[in-house]
Amino acid sequence: MDTLEVALGARSYPIHIGAGLIGDRELVGKTITAEQVLIVTDTTVAPLYLDALQRSLAERTCRTHVLAEGEQHKTLATLAEIVDTLVAENFHRDACIVALGGGVVGDIAGFTAACYQRGIDFVQVPTTLLAQVDSSVGGKTAVNHPRAKNMIGAFYQPTAVIADIGTLTTLPPRELAAGLAEVVKYGLILDAKFFGWLEDHVEALLALDADALGHVVRRSCELKAMIVAEDERERGRRALLNLGHTFGHALESLGGYGRWLHGEAVAIGTVLAACTSVELGKLTVSDAERIEALLDRFGLPTRANGLSERAILEAMAIDKKATAAGLNLVLLDAIGTGIIEAAPPDELLLSVLADLAAN
């Protein structure tokens, strides 16, 4: 097992990474110390990993709240149902919520923990690649508004993350690929060497090679922990992590949160960001081609066929990364060097979108 730290002073917390951690009673027991524990999970993950986690928490008062699976349930109504469970079970301020599942479970459970009695502890036990490399680390919690993603939420850090890479063996290939889109993002914004490593390990990753997956989770968490420690509330550099996300969130919302998985929308958004960077003379055409080729080899979509460029642009303006001063975009100066810039004129964006999204 590897343990990294997210360094946030008194709110610092460990990220434990390894295979079989959910069943490790000693680790789970000393990481989750509360007497009352509510495990929040979903209908897909519960039959796979709930038993093992409950066994590791055997001596606690342990309750479970199982959510219907899927992004469309990441709503205030779902949060209210979890609060109903907490109240009905008489959960106190020193209780702990454990999020067992992907990013949807983690985001809802984390936001519920932030709200319940003005904040109780929560521990992330991510079971998708996307959640292990990204959403479980850094304390962004939220639910969606029908018109815009993650519109209602809080910065609220977990007290620990237990990333059991053994859980990735049951992940459907499409979900694995969606997580790899966020992994590619780290290479693109911060670490050209890691991007090159990914190009060399596509087959190993798609074959769920444990060493390759372990490296990907570790390196991604290291990079995310570094950025979060520097800029917890996204006043500056943390916004780099949004590469592809302003485009991607617009696509997710236009697709009714059903057409593309989050990571798939981010993959298309990353290609759009790369093409915009090329149009602005920042990135070379050959680097943009390398980016698209890697995403494609991971089996990710790189085009948003059938959408109007104007609809995408309008949806981008609603994204919460827009400020009163206008929209900022994460672009690339090179592979490994992300930059945050004011969005270029609409005409330029519309022409990139017309080339890539609307055909």
Ligand X SMILES: NC(=O)c1ccc[n+]([C@@H]2O[C@H](COP(=O)([O-])OP(=O)(O)OC[C@H]3O[C@@H](n4cnc5c(N)ncnc54)[C@H](O)[C@@H]3O)[C@@H](O)[C@H]2O)c1
Q: Which residues form the catalytic set?
A: 118, 140, 182, 224, 234, 238, 242, 245, 249, 262
Q: Quick one: 58 or 68, whose CB is closer to ligand X?
A: 68
Per-residue tokens: 339: 């930059």
CB under 8 Å to 321, separation ≥6 — which residues? 239, 242, 245, 246, 327, 328
Whose Cβ is closer to ligand X: residue 114's or residue 171's? Answer: 171
**Least distance (Å) between residue 107 CB and ligand X:** 5
**Smaller CB separation from ligand X, 135 or 157:** 135
Nearest distance in Å: CB 23, ligand X:
14
325 DSSP 8-state letter: T
Shorter beta-carbon distance to ligand X: residue 93 or 233:
233
H helices present in 255-308, as ranges: 262-279, 285-297
Shortest spacing between CB 224 and ligand X, in angstroms: 9
How many other C-beta atoms can be found within 10 angstroms of the C-beta atom of residue 233?
A: 10
Give me the least distance between CB of 346 and ligand X, in Å please.
Answer: 26
Q: How far apart are CA 260 and CA 275, in angstroms?
A: 20
Show Cβ contacts of residue 250 under 8 Å, excluding neighbours closer than 6 positions: 312, 313, 315, 316, 318, 319
For residues 272 and 278, which CB has a smaller minimum distance to ligand X in the complex? 272
**Secondary structure (DSSP) of 190-249:** H-HHHHHHHHHTHHHHHTT-HHHHHHHHHHHHHHHHHHHHH-TT-SSGGGGGGTTHHHHH
Residue numbers at the binding site for ligand X (CB under 6 A): 42, 44-45, 48, 69-71, 74, 101-105, 107, 127-128, 130-131, 134-135, 138, 140, 150, 167, 170-171, 175, 178, 262-263
- Residue (175 or 232) nearer to ligand X, CB: 175
* Minimum separation from the CB atom of position 254 to ligand X (A): 15
Q: To the nearest whole angstrom, how small is the minimum distance from the Cβ of residue 69 to ligand X? A: 4
Distance CA 76, CA 82 (A): 10
Cβ atoms within 10 Å of 247's Cβ, excluding its own: 32
For the sheet with 2-6, list strands across it. Answer: 2-6, 13-18, 160-164, 121-126, 96-101, 36-42, 61-67
Tell me how far CA of residue 133 lies from CA of 79, 127, 215, 217, 276, in angstroms. Answer: 24, 10, 11, 5, 26
